[in-house]
């Protein structure tokens, strides 16, 4: 069964540094998402992406965050200047043609900000 | 905006018993209701979903019921097994470009 893949599995970064989290969505999927989950809490929506542009973003997704689909397979989340409170598990997800299809999640990247 | 309340926050059952988790929501425009299972340190895994034109859906030991009038939907797990132990999240979708709004989660523990 095809899967969403994410790299790295764990990223440790100094506060103020830039990080890029990478995702390869399922190949025939057209909608892409980033979510985050602070330890022990619920999953929170960050951003949705379709047709090479952001469809919707949450209040968490401020100017420090950006997303990009640099080629035909990768989907990246960049945090420009990390803060301690950015420490969380970041999940990428993708879904098929319409936004109301099941979303399949990757294994996540655990981001630790020191 | 969308809001979803999930109860209970923890649920402990004996193997073979049934487990029911309920979510209530406020946005009547929601029309997609998935349930995810998350084992410790793993990805949320879709286990069942329902759309607003259906009242109930079943997949082996798992079922979801939806009451759009009352704005709640529930996950039912029958004949629970220890491997069902995990955190279960309900979610709302369908009101915008695929955004899912998650509930707070239910820690289900199935005792052998």
Q: Which two tokens stand for residue A43?
A: 């999953």
| DSSP letter assigned to residue A103 | P
CA A54 to chain CA mean position, Å: 12
Contacts of B68 (CB under 8 A, 6+ apart): B28, B52
Distances in Å between the Cα of B87 and the Cα atoms of A6, A26, A44 are: 22, 25, 15
Is the pLDDT at A7 greater than 90, yes or no?
A: yes
The pLDDT value recorded for residue A42 is: 92
Convert the pLDDT of each residue in A14-60 to its tens digit. Answer: 999 999 999 999 998 999 999 999 998 999 999 999 989 999 999 99
Position A99 confidence tier, pLDDT thresholds 50, 70, 90: low
% of residues, chain A, pLDDT over 90: 85
The residue of chain A nearest to residue B49, with distances taken between CA atoms, is A102
Position B27 confidence tier, pLDDT thresholds 50, 70, 90: confident
Position B97 confidence tier, pLDDT thresholds 50, 70, 90: confident
Q: How many inter-chain contacts (A to B, CB under 8 Å) are there? A: 68
Cβ atoms of A91 and A3 closer than 8 Å: no
Region B60-83 average pLDDT: 96
Work out the mean pLDDT of chain B and round it to a whole number: 93
Chain A residues whose CB is inside 8 A of the B105 CB are: 42
Region A95-100 average pLDDT: 76
- Residue in B42, B94, B103 closest to A100 by CB: B94
Alpha-carbon distance A113 to A93, whole Å? 23
């Amino acid at each position: 069964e095809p899967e969403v893949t994410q790299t790295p599995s764990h990223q440790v970064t100094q506060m103020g540094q830039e990080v890029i989290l990478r995702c390869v969505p399922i190949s025939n999927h057209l909608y892409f998402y980033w979510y985050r989950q602070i330890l022990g809490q619920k999953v929170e929506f960050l951003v949705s992406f379709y047709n090479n542009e952001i469809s919707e973003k949450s209040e968490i997704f401020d100017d420090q965050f950006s997303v990009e689909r640099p080629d035909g397979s990768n989907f990246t989340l960049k945090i420009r200047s990390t803060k301690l409170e950015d420490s969380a598990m970041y999940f990428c997800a993708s879904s098929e043609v319409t936004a109301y299809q099941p979303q399949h999640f990757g294994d996540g990247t655990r981001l630790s900000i020191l | 905006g969308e809001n979803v309340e999930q109860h209970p926050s923890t649920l402990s059952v004996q193997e073979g018993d049934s487990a029911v988790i309920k979510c209530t929501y406020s946005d009547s425009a929601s029309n997609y209701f998935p349930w995810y299972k998350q084992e410790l340190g793993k990805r949320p895994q879709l286990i069942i979903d329902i759309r607003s034109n259906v009242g109930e859906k079943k997949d082996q030991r798992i079922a979801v019921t939806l009451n759009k009038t009352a704005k709640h939907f529930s996950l039912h797990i029958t004949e629970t097994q220890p491997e069902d132990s995990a955190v279960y999240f309900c979610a709302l979708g369908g009101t915008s470009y695929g955004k899912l709004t998650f509930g707070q989660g239910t820690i289900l523990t199935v005792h052998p």
